[in-house]
Amino acid sequence: MKNNNRLKCIFIIKKIINNKFTLTNIYKIKNKENFIFIKNRCFNIIRNFVFIKYIIEFIKNNIKKNNILYYLICIIVYDMYYKNLKKYILYSEIKKILKIIKINNVYKYIIKYLNILFKYKDKMLMINNNILYYIKKNNFYKNNFIINKIIKNIKNNNKIKNILLPKKNKYLWIRINKGIIKNINKFYIFLEKKNIKFIKYKKFPYSIGISNFYFNKKILSYLYKNGIISIQNISSQKCICIIDPKINDTILDMCSAPGNKSLHILETCPNIKKIVLVEKNKKKINLIKKNIKRLKIKKNNNIFFINKNSKNLDKKYYNTFDKILIDAPCTSTGNMYKKPDSIFKNKKTFDFLINEQYELLKNSIKYLKKGGYIIYLTCSILNEENKNQIKKIIKNNKNIISILNEDKNTFGIKITQDNNLNIEGFFYSKIIKLY
């Protein structure tokens, strides 16, 4: 197993599918060469798992899900259909893996079924264009909690397919540091001279989507290290418009890590009166502090950190803040390309997240001044995490109302996922405390 990266992928995929491991754990792999292979394979297999699982249905009666062979087939199917590897390469790899895991007398059996999958490869790839029809028709995912939630919440078949089978990102959205770049048009010219192709986003001159980022890693890395740019999806960047920071504001960020939204506030309004970032993980606080230094944000004695659970702040913070930001923990169903293992979250995890979200909302009211605002957001497309939470908190607290509504039933605004522009699905709500 020591030198076989595919075998390592097999065990990682098995843990992810059984909800015992997350893709973020892959970043702990120390060997750079192994890391790149394992990260790319595991992320892409999970991203395309809906289709891969459909293919494996051909042989489902012969391979049990809890059998290591099931996960071996997952890897091989991905290499076959998405990497277009030749038969002899795959078969050689299968032999090596079976020898390492000491499973005998199955090689011929696996090859038999893989030959079937090779034979019907073109047909399968055509089916992929209408995979949602086959999912619903055959009810493959009757036991998958999150996929069933998505299908119930989203009625449009194309939108469901975009969520479950996200395409490769065409654009990398970046935030340009206002504190460093004073003349945005000169910066545009600089990027053009470096042959960096990008699109602008209306109303967001300091936000651009770069299309040829794979070929410009060196210059983009330089700009990032020097605090000139940060990577942040455009849906997340919209938070700055909704919170609308002013110089006399006191702001509380209840779920601050990784810090993008608070850092955006400080870039936009560096002399803000006070911003308090709450994070229970000390390591994540240190990461935010490093980013403050990277972005060259001046310390004006207006940035404070609390290493604690934001649901249990001291009473001295009651009725203190003008604006409170809750970037709530959620299922991440609005950015499945980035977090494809979200589809394996079970009911227990889902119920835990729903409870956490409501507790954050409930406690935020205590910390808010009269006339202040709560900005609640998720990167989820599920109503249970979005409008239902706002509806419930308003029903139970007569001193707050929602003021950011698409209509009387939404209790907020939705940003629809767009795979072509790499725009993630988000939900924003803005609540005012009346008394």
Residues identified as active-site:
379
Helices 49-56 and 68-81, interaxial angle, to 10°?
110
Q: How many Å apart are CA 313 and CA 363, to the nearest integer?
A: 9
Classify the C-alpha dihedral 172-413-264-185 as positive or negative.
Answer: positive
Q: How many Å apart are CA 71 and CA 77, to the nearest integer?
A: 10
Q: Check the annotation: does 202 bind a ligand.
A: no
Q: Strand 172-176 and strand 229-231: pairing?
A: antiparallel
Structure tokens given for 344? 């394996």
Find the Cα–Cα–Cα–Cα dihedral 406, 411, 413, 418, rounded to 10°: -110
Residue given tokens 């936000």 in the structure block = 207
Q: Check the annotation: does 166 bind a ligand.
A: no
Strand order of the β-sheet with 204-210 is 198-201, 204-210, 172-176, 229-231
Residue 409 neighbours by CB under 8 Å, 6+ apart: 387
Q: Check the annotation: does 261 bind a ligand.
A: yes
Structure tokens given for 317? 């913070």
H-helix or E-strand spanning residue 209: strand 204-210
Q: How many Å apart are CA 279 and CA 277, to the nearest integer?
A: 7
Q: Check the annotation: does 258 bind a ligand.
A: yes
Structure tokens given for 220? 């983009």
Q: Are 96 and 4 in contact (CB under 8 A)?
A: yes
Helices 87-101 and 5-17, interaxial angle, to 10°?
70
Kindly provide the residue ranges of all beta strands, DSSP E only, lying in 286-409, ordered along the sequence.
303-306, 321-327, 368-378, 400-402
Q: Check the annotation: does 327 bind a ligand.
A: yes
Task: List b or e across 426-435, with b for residues whose CB sees 16 or more CB atoms inside 10 angstroms.
Answer: bbbbbbbbee
Q: Check the annotation: does 260 bind a ligand.
A: yes
With H, G, I as helix, E, B as strand and everything else as coil, classify residue 146: helix
Range 139-148, long-range pairs (CB < 8 A, 24+ positions): 140/53, 140/54, 140/57, 141/50, 144/343, 144/344, 145/345, 145/346, 145/347, 145/350, 146/331, 146/333, 146/342, 146/343, 146/344, 146/345, 146/350, 147/50, 147/343
Q: Check the annotation: does 279 bind a ligand.
A: yes
Binding residues for S-adenosyl-L-methionine: 255-261, 279, 327
**Annotation: binding site:** 255-261, 279, 327
